[in-house]
Structures are given as C-alpha cells and as structure tokens.
Copies of this chain bind each other. A is one copy, B any other.
Amino acid sequence: MRYKLTIEYDGTKYAGWQRQEERIISVQSALEEAIFGFCQHNVTLYAAGRTDSGVHAYGQVAHVDLNLARVYTVFDIQKAINAHLKKHKISVIKCEEADENFHARFSAKNKLYTYIILNRSSPPTLDQHRVWHVRRELDVPAMQAASKHFLGTHDFTSFRDSQCQAKSPIKTLHRFDIVREQERIFIHVEAQSFLHHQVRNMVGSLALVGHGKWTGENIRAALDAKDRAHAGPTAPASGLYLVRVDY
C-alpha cells in the first residue's frame, strides 16, 4: 500500500532532504530509520522537493510503500512514525492512503516556496537559522517591480546551480509575491517545479535590486544571458521554506 506523508521540519541541522554518504543525517534518512523502527522493513521515501541543507519545510510531501503485518489506520501510522522521531526536529503532520500511481514528485501540480528576510540592523533571536538577516533596508517596491521579469516561462539557466541535474532549464513561474510586514519580507514563489537553487538564486539577485545596485533591467539581462555568472549570489538556505505541494 502506498502512503502520502506531509512532513514538517527544521532543516538547520540536517544534510538536506536527500540521503547522503556524509556523517550528518538527512531528513530522508531520519524518516526511513523511523519507519524501520516502526515496521522493521527498509523503505525508500520519494519527496516532492529535495530541499538543501538548512532549508525548512512546513509541508514537504513524500510517498512510501509499506507492507504492514496488520491493519493500521493512517492516524496510527502517523503516530507510530512520530514516536520514532522524538530526537529529531521532523514531524509527520498528515498521513493519507495514496493511489499506486501517485508519485510525490511527478504528480505534483504546484509548489509554494516562501523565503523570509529579516530586514533590520539588530541580529535575530527567536528567528535564528530561520531567516536571512539583511541589515540595510531593502527597497521592497523596487524588488516587487523587478520580480515580475521572473513570471511566466523562461530559460532559468542563469539562476540554476552548476550541479543542477534537471534536463531542461525551462520553468514556468505562476506567482512571485513580495510582502513586507514590519521588519520581515516574505517572498512567495509558485511553480510546478524548480531548478536546483532557483529560488535562492532569484532572491539573491533581487536583494541586489533592493540595495539599489541593480535595476529590473539587470534581472532581465541576467535571464537573457543564460549564464550563471551573469546573475547575483545565492541567498542563504536558512530563509527558505517549502510550504505546500498541490496535487
């Protein structure tokens, strides 16, 4: 039986979603170990988005096939996995039965990522490791105007990581909203799928606009250049959240 899990995590101390050969544990490994602890069989989880180290999730989605020795409700399964995650900052917030054709990544129709900037001179306390701390005031209206160049279908070669495995650099963005709430700037981006580091690279370039070093024209030119060297730096992982995946 295939199950769809909705997962929340604080990504700070993990090697990202994907299982690694490294010493630092990944979110995937922690979950696979918890499932082993519950039903004593080795499983592989498939996630909607393979978040990087330090990136957080309020609504990551993964699927897994379980051969359970007896009947469990989905709520029993959720509780059992969480019981084996006590030492982790990872929580299964929903468990649902899924169709055998359901695939967390390939069935996804839309993903919402939110990036949070704490824009003030004093350092974060409650938000440490959960925001990008930018001391100098950012020009949000300028960033909003410039961000519109990202909307629609483009070749995002300039905004993909050199290690990106995707076959095509063409992606379609449905939403790019930037909202200031006092000291915090929330950047909401939606698309069916993203390239590796795409959101963080777009945010890094928009910060140049916010600092007055770039204009919207530079964003346009960076897209047109189709060369990573023509875009701005990668914004830190700590500000990024995978908020929701729609199917």
Contact = CB atoms under 8 A, between A and B. Distances in A.
Interface stretch (A18-26, A115-123, A169-177): A115-123
Contact of A58 (B58, B89, B126): B126
Interface in A15-57: 56
A79 interface: yes
Nearest to A12: B126
Contacts of A122: 8, 78, 82, 91-93
A128 interface: yes
A93 B120 contact: yes
Interface in A180-233: none
Interface in A110-133: 120-126, 128, 130
- Total identical chains: 2
B89 A126 contact: yes
Contacts of A79: 121
Contacts of A120: 93
A90 interface: yes
A89 B58 CA distance: 23
A82 B90 CA distance: 32
Contacts of A93: 120, 122
A3 interface: no
Nearest to A79: B121
Given A8-B126, A92-B122, 11 more contacts: A8-B122, A56-B126, A58-B126, A78-B121, A85-B123, A89-B128, A90-B125, A91-B123, A91-B124, A91-B125, A93-B120
